[in-house]
Amino acid sequence: MCSLAVRKYVQQKADDLAKMSQSVRFIFVGILNTIVGFFAYAAYIFVLNDSYIQALIFSHIVGVIHSYLWNNKWTFQQKSYNGKSIVKFVSVYIVTFFVNLLVLSILVDTIEINKLISQGLALFITTIFSFVGHKYWSFKSTTDEIEEC
């Protein structure tokens, strides 16, 4: 019975190490996704249309696809795409989108800050919402408790 607890403890420690590298991968994907999304936003404004709302919609679509593919396969090493995880993932991004839209509209329309600078500032707030939503809901994992001897 005690050896089972020791094996579970060792497995838990191995899982903790894997999660640590998983956290680093999540942060890396988040930084990469922020860069991709910001450039998609800027490109839309400069090339297609000066509408920050349209640019935000476009950059969010690009960001959601980019982020899900990287996080699903690389960060969390899922073997396949799962409908439930996609729905949860997209739900977090829908909330993040509306938070971003609110912050952006206040900064651009009310305070009259440049559209690109405003999006850069909004990214700080939306990154927090995104990280918390994905860590504690989209990709939440369950772990077994270690049995005591």
| pLDDT tens per residue, range 1-38 | 566 777 777 677 666 666 668 778 888 888 899 899 99
pTM value > 0.85: no
Task: For residues 65 and 55, give the distance between their C-alpha atoms in angstroms, rounded to a whole number.
Answer: 16
Q: Is residue 109 part of a domain?
A: yes
Q: 147 with 8: CB under 8 angstroms?
A: yes
Q: Is residue 34 part of a domain?
A: yes
Q: Is residue 144 part of a domain?
A: no
pLDDT at 10: 65
pLDDT at 149: 43
Q: Which domain holds residue 95?
A: 2-138
Provide CB contacts within 8 A for 135, sequence distance 6+.
26
**Per-residue pLDDT averaged across 62-81, rounded?**
84
- Extended strands (E) in 14-142: none
Residue 104 has pLDDT above 80, yes or no: yes
Taking Cα atoms as reference points, which of 74, 38, 75 lies closest to residue 58? Answer: 38
Q: Is residue 104 part of a domain?
A: yes
Q: Is residue 145 part of a domain?
A: no
- Extended strands (E) in 73-134: none
Q: Is residue 106 part of a domain?
A: yes
Number of domains the chain is built from: 1
**Per-residue pLDDT averaged across 111-134, rounded?**
89
pLDDT at 4: 72
Provide CB contacts within 8 A for 131, sequence distance 6+.
26, 30
Q: Is residue 10 part of a domain?
A: yes
**Per-residue pLDDT averaged across 79-99, rounded?**
86
